[in-house]
Structure 1
Amino acid sequence: MGLRESKKQETRQLISDCATRLFIEQGFEQTTITEIAAAARVAKKTVTNYFPRKEDLALDHHEAFTGGLARAVTEREPGEEPLAAVGRTFRAALLDHSPVVGFTGIAFARMIADSPTLTARLRELHDQREEALAAALTAAAPDSVPAIAPLSGAALIAAADRLLFRRIQELTLAGRTNDEIEATLLPEADHLRALLAAALADDPTAMTW
């Protein structure tokens, strides 16, 4: 990374950090772009250049989030089934306490829960995550597979994924530590994965390619 690009990344991170602090202190709806720009000591235009949507300042990992399930499929090991790749990727993120799967800390989780705007935006991002997964599964499916098969597989996986994300957020708001959440979610994730495997096994065209 060159000096110019490094500087841009530093500025972006500074703006994001200042915005997050203000959102937590004041609430998302109550905080303005002008206040964020002043806190970061940059022009208001600079903030909007880096973050066209105010919600993106709070949900800064949105690109990694929306593309995460799809990447698990497209970057899976040779011969690895899509469901196995998704499960392996989620388990690694869970053990890493990644914010992409919901580990945000109680203050951040409360900020999202208290904001109708962010709650709605998070639903949109989950929808985009499912759409990206459906596209990846469709691209990976052989021509003989019915078009509905990868779409139904994506819908089932995305539903389980949303549930696990919600569980992490709920446990975070309940005051559980990340290690406690990990211990709770590991068997729950295994249970969901078994349910998905059984459901998809009933349709031999769904996810065995």
Structure 2
Amino acid sequence: MGIETPGLRESKKQETRQLISDHATRLFIEQGFEQTTIAEIAAAARVAKKTVTNYFPRKEDLALDHHEEFTASLARAVTGRADGESALAALRREFGTALERRDPVAGFAGPEFARMIADSPTLTARLRDLHDQREEALAAALADAAPDASPAIAPRAAAALLAAAQRLLFQRIQELTLAGHPNDRIAATVAPEAAHVFGLLADCLGDFPAATA
């Protein structure tokens, strides 16, 4: 009998997690999020209900399974910015890259997925929570980057403005997706709109905080 290595075990866990997520997404799109049960997802994935809840403690996480990446994305852009680069410049650059990649974290989830969220009060509320968590993480990153900021509320104020801009652009991409626009057309529409939104913030935020920690 072969010995299962830690790497193999982790690989199998990831495969199981992805299998459950894929079946859950399919059922949510076909039946609606509210109408689909954990038991149905477990049966489709051929696993026990407990296995589903072990991997996804909240039903919403089955649909929004990139939530950790989403909530950390803005803070990560700030902490990883180039030396001397402002938070605004870093987030503007990262958003441009996300547009080029048609990144789901920026809102490129496809019409079926976007409709699934729009039709579910539970998922709509959860997405609002995730936007709030993303803002909180960004505020913490900005506070770390500018520990002596004056007034003390400055990092939170900057985070509120930057996160609101990101939320608006995410919603815009979802709006255009639901209107039936293809991703390339969405990106072409949103790029100049994003430039306008970020431009509005330039006078407010300047180079805050320019220096890396």
Q: TM-score range by the shorter chain?
A: over 0.9
1:59 counterpart letter in structure 2: L
1:183 aligns with 2:191: no
Within-5 A mapping of 1:147-162:
147-162=152-167
Following superposition, the deviation at residue 145 of structure 1 comes to 3.1
Structure 1 residue runs without a partner (length 5+): none
Within-5 A mapping of 1:45-194:
45-194=50-199
Q: TM-score, normalised by structure 2?
A: 0.94
2:118 counterpart letter in structure 1: A
Following superposition, the deviation at residue 76 of structure 1 comes to 0.9
1:21 aligns with 2:26: yes
Within-5 A mapping of 1:20-39:
20-39=25-44
Runs of 4+ more than 3 Å apart: 206-209
Q: TM-score, normalised by structure 1?
A: 0.96
2:64 counterpart letter in structure 1: L
SS in 1 for 2:168: helix
Q: 1:5 aligns with which of 6, 10, 19?
A: 10
Deviations 1:43-74 (A, max 9, x none): 00000000000000000110000000000001
Q: CA RMSD in A?
A: 1.2
Structure 2 residue runs without a partner (length 5+): 1-5
Structure 2 distance, partners of 1:207, 1:182, is 29
CA contact (8 A) 1:153 1:207 kept: no
SS in 2 for 1:147: coil
Structure 1 distance, partners of 2:209, 2:171, is 25
Structure 1 distance, partners of 2:138, 2:150, is 16
SS in 2 for 1:2: helix
- Residue 202 of structure 2 is matched in structure 1 by 197
1:181 counterpart letter in structure 2: I
Deviations 1:127-156 (A, max 9, x none): 000000000000000425321111100000
SS in 2 for 1:49: helix
Structure 2 distance, partners of 1:200, 1:75, is 19
By relative contact order (CA 8 Å, sep 6+), the higher-ranking structure is: 2
CA contact (8 A) 2:42 2:48 kept: yes
Following superposition, the deviation at residue 208 of structure 1 comes to 4.3
Structure 2 distance, partners of 1:69, 1:33, is 32
2:140 counterpart letter in structure 1: A
- Residue 3 of structure 2 is matched in structure 1 by none
